[in-house]
Amino acid sequence: DSPYRLVLLRHGESEWNQKNLFTGWVDVDLNEKGEREAARGGELLTAEGLLPDVLHTSLLRRAIRTAQIALDKADRHWIPVRRSWRLNERHYGALQGKDKAQTLAEFGEEQFQLWRRSYDTPPPVLDDGAEFSQAADPRYAEIPSEVRPRTECLKDVVVRMLPYWYDAIVPDLADGRTVLVTAHGNSLRALVKHLDGISDEAIAGLNIPTGIPLLYELDADFKPLTPGGRYLDPDAAKAAIEAVKNQGKK
Ligand code: DG2
């Protein structure tokens, strides 16, 4: 039996990644570097012969465009697509739109790390009327208002992401399709936590770089054959992971 093939791809660098701002559900675009990363991601897929049969994305432009650019490069722009808010980035609550370095300076290292990387401490709630709220965004109208996030910790992301994993992604894998998931730093951390069975404590130390495809080959129980999977460009991934880790300190 050949293993199931799952490719995870965090979007390329966004305008707000570049500015070092907390983004969450704010729908910012890729910058030029991000577009180049996405194209390179598509080239890496082609070079490995990893041609996706189906795409799953979040509802956010930076993930959607990353997939379009990468798949275009791989000549797979035509494959079927499903999109879900359940793959969206973690809702960053009242931190959305705030500068990461300023937040670190204002609240200190411990609080900053709790908000950014603890498993179960969400940032303060973002009010519905606030500048960077998505409360009135029609793309989220289908989410019952009591479920619609106003802030999330990683644990909340795991809870809302897992139903999509089991109901939408696993069936595609079970059909033998090579599945591409384009999503975000924290929604992918949630998925990797599940796949690799990472503890609530250890997940704080896991960071995902932009634009580098991460291949998971999965066994019959949809568990990784190799823990952590394999980045298609491991050297670039290593450097980029360090950069994500140190983001407040720019
Ligand atoms: C980043 C992740 O999400 O930020 O929301 O600011 O992957 O959509 O760019 P992404 C954000 P950190 O949790 O790494 O600070």
**Catalytic residue list contains 15:** no
Q: What pLDDT shows up at residue 243?
A: 86
What pLDDT is stored for residue 250 in this prediction?
53
Q: What does the pLDDT average to over 130-155?
A: 96
Q: Is the pLDDT of residue 247 over 90?
A: no
CB burial class (10 A; 0-12, 13-18, 19+) of residue 6? buried
The CATH superfamily holding the domain 4-218+229-249 is Phosphoglycerate mutase-like (3.40.50.1240)
Interatomic CA distance for residues 104 and 100, integer angstroms:
6
pLDDT in tens, 178-219: 999 999 999 999 999 999 999 999 999 999 999 999 999 999
Complex ipTM tops 0.90: yes
Rg (CA), the chain: 17
For residue 226, the one-letter residue type is T
Which pLDDT score, from 0 to 100, does residue 188 have?
98
pLDDT score recorded for residue 249: 75
Q: How far is the CA of 165 from the centre of ligand 1 (A)?
A: 21
Of the candidate ranges 6-15, 38-47, 204-213, 237-246, the one whose mean pLDDT is the lowest: 237-246
Q: Is 116 in the pocket of ligand 1 (CB under 6 A)?
A: yes
Which of 11, 23, 27, 241 should be mutated for ligand 1, with most atoms under 8 A from CB? 23
Residue 215 has φ and ψ, to the nearest 5°, of -95, 130
Give the integer Cα–Cα distance in Å for 53 and 81. Answer: 9
pLDDT per residue over 198-209, tens digit each?
999 999 999 999
Interval between CA 220 and ligand 1 midpoint (Å): 32
Ligand 1 mutation pick, 13, 154, 186, max ligand atoms within 8 A of CB:
186
* pLDDT exceeds 80 at position 47: yes
Q: What percent of the chain has pLDDT over 90?
A: 95
Residues 140-144, mean pLDDT to the nearest whole number: 95
